[in-house]
Copies of this chain bind each other. A is one copy, B any other.
Amino acid sequence: MTSTPDPRRLVASLLVVRASGLLADGQRRHPRWEHDNATLRALLAEGVGGVILLGGAAAELRLRTRQLASWSDQPLLLCADVEEGVGQRFAGASWLPPPLGLGRLHGRDPAAALHLAEQYGRCTGREARALGLNWVLGPVCDVNNNPGNPVINVRAWGEEPTGVAELVAAFIAGVQNEGVLACAKHFPGHGDTSTDSHLDLPVLPHHRERLEAIELPPFRRAIARGVASVMTAHLLLPELDPERPATLSPVVLTQLLRQDLGFAGLVVTDALVMDAIATRHGAGEAAVLALEAGADLVLMPADPWQAIDAILAALDSGRLCADDLRQSAERRRRALALTCGDPDPGGMDPERPLGLLTNGPSAEDRAFASELLRRTLIVQGGKVARPRSQRAVALVRVDEPLACPFLSPDAPALAFPAAAGFRPRVLDRQTPPSWTEDGGNEGPVLLQLFVRGHPFRGSAADGEPWAEWITTLVRQKRLAGLVVYGSPYLWDSLRGHLPQELPAVWSPGQMPDAQALALDRIGLALDVPATLDGGFTD
């Protein structure tokens, strides 16, 4: 606050823009949202102060963060939505089962869950730092007390405020002890919505008293634990502010978060490109409203150049006050001072080109990921009988088989049952209901359901048809086993339809290691998937 930088640079420093984690423009997976390299260079030269990276591989991210840093003359905030381990978005790092698994474990064994939550944060912080990130956009502090929530769901740390508060505090300690910033989101709480804010603006009818009881405790705890940043929610809370969604509301950001909760760290908006905001306000106006409401940083403005110009115009017109923006910049500077910096900013040692990630996750982190899978799995019933019928099928239900990150042709969910005699068959939303006419209506059926974002809603009409299917298969004595990967709500709704002895598993994680473990637990282990390696070349 002592220097008086160029206003344009000051404003630009409060923007966080989006880049692919991959180096080449042609490799961007979402070119509509990810700036190309020429634009990124220009934005960073302008003084833009942060970049959010989505998607790619760990090794390439190490190069990418170094490249972005080289395009800027100031320290950057480099962040990613790595709520479920760095490997969730960057292949080759640790990919952890989603937090709700620990939320459920907390109900059975709170001490173990808290210990694992702290390790979860450590693993994420350590790997983020090793790859050049200094800001983890987690934990989700939303209490997922609405099983129909399409957007939070398994990303949450639980379904009741006390457990969530304890777990997120442990996670934050883990991340920040590694010299990386954490981010409590989505303030003031996104757990009780059934609208996806990526598509439309959810409305939360709760009074302040209700928020104090359910939504706010995790944020209060996160703040008490020293969380470096808080991300706003694109939610309308008419009882607090009937006009402005939380992201743009002075009542929510300034009165509630800053004054009542006493948060002195960085307030960052959720992505302003999201339709809940973008379709209601211009690219420039949304950014101005967010800063006016009390946000320090503007994440993914729909058009960064328009955002800069609009904020400068608002400074000129007196809508925004330069002192406030300087204070935001000072908060940003203080946050950066808490990070440990790039562990390997200079050249590259050929022996360890990735710092901590030369050969993937460390033995310690691998052991942790494995323990997390084991501790969060729920198993019931016995072992799957080897089918005697040639018509035995392993049905695998996924949202989308194309580019599915957890299902390659040699994934355990396909290879292990195949080795045991179940012919794999992938079902997706396109697959017609008539699939059973393919002979699938005669032999034993092993059912594996990968469902997380769209939990079972209790009715066959708008939900998944599995309760009905399972009932039929059980009646016909053809259900060989059931694995639900992801949603505990789908699991909860289906387990009542299962005979006690039927082999069944809920695994919060969907990744190949989770598949291997779940299938192992019901007797379908395969040490060497040799026969299913699919040949030795692509």
Footprint of B on A, CB under 8 Å?
22-27, 29-30, 32-33, 37, 54-55, 57-60, 63, 66-67, 69-70, 81, 89, 91-92, 198, 271, 273-274, 300, 346-348, 350-351, 353-354, 357-361, 366, 400-405, 407-411, 414, 425-426, 430, 432, 434-435, 437-438, 528-530, 533-538
Residues from chain B with a CB closer than 8 A to the CB of A59 are: 22-24, 57, 59-60, 63
* Across the A-B interface, the 8 shortest Cβ-Cβ residue pairs: A24-B360, A347-B347, A432-B438, A70-B350, A403-B408, A33-B536, A348-B348, A59-B60
Q: How many copies of the chain does the oligomer comprise?
A: 2
Q: A27-B91, A92-B24, A432-B438 are in contact. Are A271 and B353 (CB under 8 A)?
A: no
Q: A350-B69, A533-B30 are in contact. Are A359 and B91 (CB under 8 A)?
A: no
* Selected A-B contacts with CB under 8 Å, 9 pairs: A22-B92, A24-B92, A29-B538, A59-B60, A63-B63, A198-B535, A402-B404, A402-B408, A425-B430
CA A88 – CA B357 in complex, angstroms?
26
Q: Which of B27, B366, B409 is within 8 Å of A403, CB to CB?
A: B409
A353 touches B22 (CB 8 A): no
Residues from chain B with a CB closer than 8 A to the CB of A533 are: 30, 32-33
B537 touches A81 (CB 8 A): yes
Q: A27-B91, A536-B271 are in contact. Are A528 and B32 (CB under 8 A)?
A: yes
CA A55 – CA B425 in complex, angstroms?
26
- CB-based nearest B residue for A33: B536
User: Whole-angstrom distance from the CB of A530 to the nearest CB of chain B?
Assistant: 6
CA A30 – CA B518 in complex, angstroms?
22
- CB-based nearest B residue for A95: B26
B24 touches A58 (CB 8 A): yes
Query: 12 more A-B contacts (CB under 8 A) besides A30-B534, A403-B404, A403-B407?
Result: A24-B359, A24-B361, A25-B360, A26-B361, A29-B408, A29-B538, A32-B530, A59-B59, A70-B351, A198-B535, A271-B536, A402-B411
Residues from chain B with a CB closer than 8 A to the CB of A425 are: 430
User: Whole-angstrom distance from the CB of A220 to the nearest CB of chain B?
Assistant: 28
Residues from chain B with a CB closer than 8 A to the CB of A353 are: 23, 63, 66-67
A69, A353, A361, A528 interface centre (most CB from chain B within 10 Å): A353
B430 touches A437 (CB 8 A): no
A350 touches B67 (CB 8 A): yes
CA A303 – CA B437 in complex, angstroms?
46
B408 touches A357 (CB 8 A): no
CA A23 – CA B403 in complex, angstroms?
21
CA A409 – CA B400 in complex, angstroms?
8
Residues from chain B with a CB closer than 8 A to the CB of A537 are: 30, 54, 81, 198
CA A434 – CA B538 in complex, angstroms?
30
User: Whole-angstrom distance from the CB of A57 to the nearest CB of chain B?
Assistant: 6
- CB-based nearest B residue for A68: B350
Residues from chain B with a CB closer than 8 A to the CB of A351 are: 67, 70
CA A359 – CA B40 in complex, angstroms?
12
- CB-based nearest B residue for A66: B350
A426 touches B434 (CB 8 A): no
CA A346 – CA B26 in complex, angstroms?
27
Residues from chain B with a CB closer than 8 A to the CB of A400 are: 409
Q: Which of B58, B91, B300, B538 is within 8 Å of A55, CB to CB?
A: B538
Q: Which of B359, B414, B535 is within 8 Å of A23, CB to CB?
A: B359
Residues from chain B with a CB closer than 8 A to the CB of A23 are: 59, 92, 353-354, 357-360
Residues from chain B with a CB closer than 8 A to the CB of A361 are: 24, 26
User: Whole-angstrom distance from the CB of A40 to the nearest CB of chain B?
Assistant: 11
Residues from chain B with a CB closer than 8 A to the CB of A411 are: 402
A402 touches B430 (CB 8 A): no
Q: Which of B63, B407, B435 is within 8 Å of A432, CB to CB?
A: B435
CA A408 – CA B350 in complex, angstroms?
34
CA A432 – CA B434 in complex, angstroms?
9
CA A401 – CA B400 in complex, angstroms?
10
Residues from chain B with a CB closer than 8 A to the CB of A366 are: 26
A27 touches B536 (CB 8 A): no
B536 touches A273 (CB 8 A): yes
User: Whole-angstrom distance from the CB of A82 to the nearest CB of chain B?
Assistant: 12
Residues from chain B with a CB closer than 8 A to the CB of A404 are: 402-403
B536 touches A32 (CB 8 A): yes
User: Whole-angstrom distance from the CB of A203 to the nearest CB of chain B?
Assistant: 21
